[in-house]
Chain A
Amino acid sequence: MANPRKMKDLRKQPGFEFLAYTCLFFLYAPIVVLVIFSFNDNRSVVLWTEFSFRWYVEAFDNDGIREATIISFKVAAVATFFSTIFATMAALATTRTPPYRGQTLAYAIINQPLMVPEIVTAVATLAFFTLIKKLTGVSGIGYLMMAHTVFCIPFAYMPIRARLEDMNLTLEQAAADLYATPFQVFRTITLPLMAPGIVAGAMLAFVVSLDDVIISLLIAGPGETTLPIYILGQIRRGITPEINAVSTLLLGLTVILVALFFIIGRKK
């Protein structure tokens, strides 16, 4: 790379402020509009009349929205739990071992869901699960949770692995020198140090699961409509501000989660 002395502060480049504010505007203006219209006393999502909580009340009264939200959270919670465990194990196995043959292949396989187009994964999973259902006769929401767990693994894996790679091995080696068993080293040194990575990975997995449309659309069985599928189904018949209200609540929840994460991170 260039000589660091010659590098100028990026923020001093001409046009930087303008570009940055344009990007921020296009990222956040639609969200601001969505939030504003969730308080609109009118069926329209484009015409303002007056302020009211009407759509929040209607959203809470709407069985479809309520059930879809509960299902979304259930699936996301289970998928986050399992994918974070698997991702942690995978991250340990790819960073805390001497290099071995096939390590690159292991990376590639773990990250596969990021590379393959989602629709391909969705169709393949649909066919695979149908076959299992035919053979076993078992059905239920477990399939949806399993599918979500799988595509959440690489998202949980990335921050955990990044954290492990940043961590110096000296502490772990010192503990081992002092006759700590491998499990003691893991429990008292590695795990506490990698915890921020695990939390970040889990949060990412949760958000990705909550967001998913294509795989859920094809995998979900009877009574397993998640919130994104519910919203998608509304488009043809016209979206009501109920959707804005639910989205605003979800947005608020996300902001609170992220804020909490930062506060906890800072105290340590």
Chain B
Amino acid sequence: MTKTKLKMATALAAGLGLAGPALAEGELNIYNWGNYTNPELIEKFEAEFGIEVNLDGYDSNETMLAKVREGNTGYDIVVPGDSTVQIMIGLDMLAEIKPNEMENFKNMDPKWVDVWWDPGRNYSVPWQWGTTSFTVDTEVYTGDINTLALMFDPPEELKGRINMLNDMNDVINAGLRYKGYDRCNSNADELREVTEMLIAAKENWRTMDYSTIEKLTSGDVDLSQNWNGAAMRAREQRPTLQYAYPKEGFTGWMDNVAVLADAPNMENAKLFVNFIMDPENAAMISNFARYANGIMGSEEFMDAEMLSAPEIVMPANAPTPDFVKPCPQEVTDLYNRIWTRLKQ
């Protein structure tokens, strides 16, 4: 009830033009992926600043973008993926909050500062980052797992035991890497070759589904394309699973905290952005979401099993993850056509 009253008062004040310089007290409205935010982190932030936080979840970048694009949603903070950050900056949807001038910016790992989706970090800071590769049961397949051939030209024991992500870019990019071709490819011959390879490989796939943890732990499949955090959770229930770092390469991704241009609680949002660059707080996010953050010194506060997890700590000889840029429209159209054929 008090929440509603407060909201009405805020709306009234805003309507009358009375909302003066933002106070350290008040509200903060966060719109993040579902089940991705540690409730203890929110409690700590509320206690430290006397700000009441509303937290809501979405299921995809597209849902968030569709809703926020209309404006006036009331949300302050969103957590878009790398290419979505670039799209949102291009559409003037994000506030230039200058995290690079904030107090805790010194904690950000330098390798995450000059990223292509936000060079120099004028709009966003890292929330969690991870990789998209695949998980195999090493009891079922005992050979070398670090190759994409297991998905596209599987050995006898893995045939019909494979789950792929139901995601156009993840599947096509893996196919391009296997063939050794560039990402965002518009070369007709190369794409035809990849398409034929994917259609042939599909014969050996059992499902194409996002619910990778359930697929693997139920024993429905023995190999699944997977995100590293999900791979770790699946391994906890099926210890013979191992996360692969294929020699042909694999996708890296980062979700970033950004502030909307029309955020009603701009100052509180900036407080939050600075707050999560604190190593202790960044570690709280990782301990819950089970992915790495981009903040130096957070290891000290992280759960021990995460620091030793091969899914989170990449081996030294693994290739560098490939953060794929958004492709031009004509390439996306070609990909859409390949995807439609593959899904038939």
Contacts and interface: CB of A to CB of B under 8 A. Distances in A.
Given A137-B11, A222-B74, A238 B59 contact: no
Given A47-B217, A137-B14, A141-B4, A222 B29 contact: yes
A230 B57 contact: yes
A46 B218 CA distance: 6
Given A238-B211, A239-B211, A232 B56 contact: no
Contacts of B72: 130, 133-134, 139
A223 B54 contact: yes
B70 A127 contact: yes
B111 interface: no
A126 interface: yes
Given A137-B11, A222-B29, 18 more contacts: A43-B237, A44-B217, A64-B55, A127-B70, A139-B11, A139-B74, A218-B67, A221-B29, A221-B75, A222-B56, A222-B75, A223-B29, A223-B56, A230-B57, A233-B57, A236-B60, A237-B34, A238-B230
B63 interface: yes
Which of A64, A224, A238 counts the most chain B CB atoms within 10 A? A238
16 contacts: A43-B237, A64-B55, A123-B66, A130-B70, A130-B72, A134-B72, A137-B15, A217-B58, A222-B54, A222-B73, A223-B3, A225-B56, A230-B34, A233-B34, A233-B59, A237-B230
B71 to A, nearest CB: 6
Interface string A127-166: 1001001101111110000000000000000000000000
A221 B264 CA distance: 13
Given A138-B15, A141-B4, A233 B29 contact: no
A229 interface: yes
Interface in A205-260: 217-218, 220-225, 229-230, 232-239
Interface in B1-41: 3-4, 7-8, 11, 14-15, 27, 29, 31, 33-36, 39
Contacts of B8: 140
Interface in A22-67: 43-47, 63-64
Contacts of B168: none
Interface string B35-65: 1100100000000000000111111100100
B233 interface: yes
Contacts of B327: none
B39 A140 contact: no
B57 A229 contact: yes
B34 A234 contact: yes
Contact of A44 (B54, B63, B66, B237): B237
Given A222-B74, A234-B34, A44 B218 contact: yes
Interface of B: 3-4, 7-8, 11, 14-15, 27, 29, 31, 33-36, 39, 54-60, 63, 66-67, 70-75, 210-211, 213-214, 217-218, 220, 230, 233, 237, 289
B7 A139 contact: yes
Nearest to B66: A218
Interface of A: 43-47, 63-64, 123, 126-127, 130, 133-134, 136-141, 217-218, 220-225, 229-230, 232-239
A236 B211 CA distance: 7
Q: Which 8 residue pairs spanning A and B have beta carbons closest together?
A: A233-B34, A233-B57, A222-B29, A46-B218, A223-B54, A137-B15, A222-B54, A130-B70
Nearest to B19: A137
Contacts of A224: 56
A28 B79 CA distance: 38
A248 B34 CA distance: 21
Contacts of B217: 44, 46-47
A239 B233 CA distance: 12
Nearest to B75: A222
Contacts of B60: 236
A12 B289 CA distance: 57
Contacts of B27: 222
Contact of B210 (A139, A220, A222, A235): A235
Given A46-B214, A218-B66, A233-B58, A63 B35 contact: no
B14 A236 contact: no
